[in-house]
Amino acid sequence: MYVCICNGVTDHEIREVAAAGCGTLPELTMRTGCGATCGSCLDQAQQILDEVRALRELALPVLSEAA
């Protein structure tokens, strides 16, 4: 699904960038262009960043206990 119509950024692209360590909207904008034109997509982009961060934080304790 397109999140940023102006710059053609999809939710999949945002999830990939977030999984690679992007955690803020300014960084997301720098990496993808999301939100750089009209900004109407920024709320949805932030929700996706938050979802990925929550999943990453949930998975880390499990990995540390396995070692």
Report pLDDT digits (tens) over 8-58.
999 999 999 999 999 999 999 999 999 999 999 999 999 999 999 998 877
In angstroms, the Cα distances linking 57 to 4, 8, 42, 53, 64 are 26, 28, 22, 6, 11
| Its pTM surpasses 0.85 | no
Phi-psi region of 9 (alpha: psi -120 to 50; beta: other; left: phi over 0): beta
What pLDDT, on the 0 to 100 scale, is given for residue 56?
81
Burial 9-19 (b: 16+ CB within 10 A, else e): bebebbeebbe
| Residue-range domain boundaries for the chain | 2-66
Which residue's entry shows tokens 């119509």? 5
**What's the fold here for domain 2-66?**
Arc Repressor Mutant, subunit A (1.10.10)
